[in-house]
Amino acid sequence: SFPSGKKITVVFVIGGPGSGKGTQCAKIVSHFGFTHLSAGDLLREEVKSDTEQGTMIKNLMHEGKLVPSEIIVRLLLKAMLASGNDKFLIDGFPRNEENREAYEKIIKIEPEFVLLIDCSREEMERRILHRNQGRDDDNMETIRRRFEVFQQSTLPVIQHYEKMGKLRRVL
Ligand code: AMP
């Protein structure tokens, strides 16, 4: 885990599928010296390793479902430690209450604030269908499922941070 006494800054970035999380993070990072970690990118990287866990992750992502929190939190911790940095912008996380609880149990660094990239569903859908990143979850059926997950699982986390006064909305 992290050396104690060192102040670690964490900012979460949450937004629906296609809201532009990755694009916004790239801009912020180049200005403020943060390390950008994308939960989705870490998982896609893990899929490339030809392991049983990789195959399990691939199938869940293809179905638009969330990967077990323990897995994503371990990947985040590993990437944070490997970076050597003390400032992190973590995008696509937490996506549900289970993510948040696993993070609080394992990484335990209270986020400074949480950025919510607010975007209409029509705009998000349009962007996903027009981007060509070769992602096999960028198809109509999986997109529908990813929107459902956002509504059902991510909105409660957003409300949690709103109650704590930690939410910052960006349009
Ligand atoms: P993204 O690249 O943010 O659009 O995420 C793509 C997919 O990766 C999601 O639809 C989920 O299947 C999975 N995923 C990304 N972030 C998480 C997370 N924090 N917890 C669980 N699964 C995730």
Specify the ligand 1 atom closest to the Cα of 18. Answer: 4
Band of residue 2 on the pLDDT scale cut at 50, 70, 90:
confident
Domains and CATH numbers, the chain: 9-170 (3.40.50.300)
pLDDT in tens, 22-80: 889 998 888 899 999 999 999 999 999 989 999 999 999 999 999 999 999 999 999 99
Sign of CA dihedral 31, 9, 43, 81: positive
Element (H, E) at 30: helix 21-32
Question: For ligand 1, is residue 100 a contact (CB within 6 Å)?
Answer: no
Mean pLDDT of 118-134: 93
- Quick one: three-class SS letters along 65-121? CCCCHHHHHHHHHHHHHHHCCCEEEEECCCCCHHHHHHHHHHCCCCCCEEEEECCCH
Amino acid at 60: L
C-alpha 5 to ligand 1 mean position (Å): 32
Provide the pLDDT for residue 140: 92
Nearest CA to ligand 1 atom 6: 40
For a ligand 1 pocket test, name from 23, 38, 95 the mutation site with the most ligand atoms within 8 angstroms of its C-beta. Answer: 95
Determine the distance separating the centroid of ligand 1 and the alpha carbon of 34, expressed in angstroms: 21
The closest-lying atom of ligand 1 relative to the alpha carbon of residue 43 is: 8
